Amino acid sequence: MRQLATAGAIAAACLAATSVQGQAPREVRIGVVTTLTTPAAIIGREVQDALNLAVEHAGGEAAGLKLKLIVEDDGLKPDIGRQKTEKLIRQDNVDIVAGYVWSNVLLASRKSVLDAGKILISTNAAPSDMAGRLCNPAFFAMRGQGDVMAMALGADLDRRGVKTAYTMAPNYAAGKDVIAGFQRTFSGKVVGQDFTKWGDDPQLDFSAELTKAAASGAEALVAFYPGRAAAFMKQFEQSGLAGKVKLYTVYTLDQTALPSLQQGNVTGALGTGLIDYWYPDLDTPENKRFVADFRTRYGRTPSNYAAAAYDVIPFIKAALETVKGDLSDKAALQKALAEAKFRSVRGVFRFGRNQMPLDNYYALTVAAQPDGNWGLTAPSLALENGADPYVGDCKMGS
């Protein structure tokens, strides 16, 4: 009888062990809201592909937790973005919500995430309100606040001796931030300004605005049209402004736009000046691996959208390793994220007090590269450790 009982205990123990081994490993669930439909899906694809590559590079885990991505499409609409955010929180029970290409989508979704006690990480959108009065210990941005890149452009135009500029941008939060940032540092005169329709039915005919820019006599045209570079650049070339007015852009001409512009022989893009916090040839070991493996996996060169999204995973992994995989203490996880030391594709990565990154910004030029492809060349530092002007309105950590 004792032998039977012992055998039964051993069998039960074996079954229990098998059951535990058969269970899915513990996981950290990361919800991602990005744009996977509409013409702007090209940007959302950059985010999704970069995150998947980063998970692979991380070995699929962090501090013993499986890294699980759950991706939702915002359709380029704030209300849909908020609905998908709430779905991730309520139905998928994610631990972290990330993504957000567009400032208006992030602003519509932020309260749902923060009220639920979740961590919120933006891979791109960084509106001024969330850098200032709406800053929050649970919110982190992986690229600088929207004004700063344009601030770097304004400073760069001053160094080039440009005295007059005309500005064009879509009429939404990021567009207004970009133009405000440019005007903050540009000491010359803005001789004209247009904010064009954005949203469900965005304006894609810029002929009237380009005619006004030509008539203004401006030396430089400053433009911000994320996801709409093809329409804007074709009309810029057709307007006859190319070669007469120097074009400078932010978040418009990048690796999401240049291949199609080259294929369409839109040569007006060549010689365009721009500012970016990242470029494919940035000389860090992490960036070399990221760019090489992204090209191998997806057959294209990554963009700045992909670079910032890629950094999300090593950022999260570093914090989880600090708290030893304990997701239950949100305050400890927030602190670990704020202090995380990780290997960014940008090199040294650090946050300002409002948890917006303090990036270096580079002046670049669109030109044909030795392999014949159009790319970003001739980098020079335009702004070092760029801080946004709204951090003083952030009461966090003050």
- Asked if residues 137 and 334 have their Cβ atoms less than 8 Å apart, the reply is yes
Inside any domain, residue 12: no
SS3 2: helix
| 230 and 372 share one domain | yes
Q: Which residue is it, tokens 């207004």?
A: 176
Looking up residue 114, the CATH number of its domain turns out to be: 3.40.50.2300
Is residue 395 one of the residues assigned to a domain? no
Rounded to the nearest 10 degrees, how much is the dihedral formed by the CA atoms of 224, 229, 234, 236?
A: 10
- In angstroms, the CA 314 to CA 310 distance is 8
Question: What does the DSSP assignment read for 131-187?
Answer: HTTT--TTEEESS--HHHHHHHHHHHHHHTT--EEEEEEESSHHHHHHHHHHHHH--
Task: Supply φ then ψ for residue 25, to 5 degrees.
Answer: -65, 155
Note whether residue 301 is domain-resident. yes
Strand order in the sheet with 65-73: 61-62, 65-73, 27-34, 96-99, 119-122, 139-141
> What is the rounded distance in angstroms from the CA atom of residue 232 to the CA atom of residue 224?
10
Planar angle of CA 289, 294, 297, nearest 5 degrees? 120
| Spatial CB neighbours of 190, under 8 Å, sequence gap ≥ 6 | 164, 165, 166, 167, 183
Spatial neighbors of 55 by CB under 8 A, at least 6 apart, are 67, 69, 313
125, 163: one domain: no
Q: Are residues 199 and 317 in the same domain?
A: no
- The share of the chain scoring above pLDDT 70, in percent, equals 93
- pLDDT tens digit sequence for 267-319: 999 999 999 999 999 999 999 999 999 999 999 999 999 999 999 999 999 99
Residues 164, 86 share a domain: no
Give the side-chain half-sphere CA count within 13 A for 263.
7
Average per-residue pLDDT in the chain?
Answer: 92
Same domain, yes or no, for 136 and 156? no
Q: Do residue 268 and residue 291 come from a single domain?
A: no
Whether 248 is covered by a domain: the verdict is yes
Identify whether residues 266 and 318 lie together within a single domain.
no
- What is the predicted pLDDT for the residue at 10? 43
Residues 221 and 321 in one domain: no
Tell me the per-residue pLDDT of 188-220, one tens digit each, with 9 for 90 and over: 999 999 999 887 778 889 999 999 999 999 999
Please answer whether residues 7 and 15 qualify as being in contact, where contact means their C-beta atoms are separated by less than 8 angstroms: no
Judged by DSSP in three states, 221 sits in strand
Residue 242 lies in a domain: yes
State the burial class of residue 243 (Cβ atoms within 10 Å of its Cβ: 0-12, 13-18, 19+).
exposed
How far apart CA 338 and CA 334 sit, in angstroms, is 6
Q: How many helices (H) and strands (E) does the chain have?
A: 13, 13
CA distance 332 to 327: 9
Looking at the fold, whether 131 and 120 belong to one and the same domain comes out as yes
Specify whether 344 is located in the same domain as 289: yes
Round to whole Å and give the CA distance between 105 and 76: 8
Q: Would you say residue 392 lies in a domain?
A: no
At 77, which amino acid appears?
A: K
Under the banding of pLDDT at 50, 70 and 90, the label for residue 398 is low
CA distance 221 to 229: 14
Q: How big is the CA angle at 137 (ends 44 and 129), to the nearest 5 degrees?
A: 65
Tens of pLDDT, residue by residue over 109-162, are 999 999 999 999 999 999 999 999 999 999 999 999 989 999 999 999 999 999
Q: Under a CB-based contact definition with an 8 Å cutoff, are residues 71 and 32 in contact?
A: yes
- 2 has a pLDDT exceeding 80: no
Among candidate residues 129, 378, 189, the one with its CA nearest the CA of residue 275: 378
- On whether residue 94 sits in a domain, the answer given is yes
- Residue 21 domain flag: no
Task: Give the range of the structural domain holding residue 77, as residue numbers without chain letter.
Answer: 27-144+283-357
Same domain? For 203 and 230 the reply is yes
Please give the angle made by the CA atoms of 189, 191 and 193, to the nearest 5 degrees. 115
Give the count of domains, the chain. Answer: 2
User: Does 5 score more than 70 pLDDT?
Assistant: no
* pLDDT tens profile 162-173: 999 999 999 988
pLDDT digits (tens, 9 = 90+) for 20-70: 344 444 999 999 999 999 988 999 999 999 999 999 999 999 999 999 999
Q: What distance in Å separates the CA atoms of residue 172 and residue 177, rounded to the nearest whole number?
A: 9
Tell me, yes or no, whether 115 and 153 share the same domain.
Answer: no
What own/partner pairs with CB < 8 Å and gap ≥ 24 does 129-134 have?
129/173, 129/390, 130/106, 131/354, 131/356, 131/388, 131/390, 131/391, 131/393, 131/394, 132/354, 132/390, 132/391, 132/392, 132/393, 132/394, 133/393, 133/394, 134/110
Quick one: pLDDT at residue 14? Answer: 45
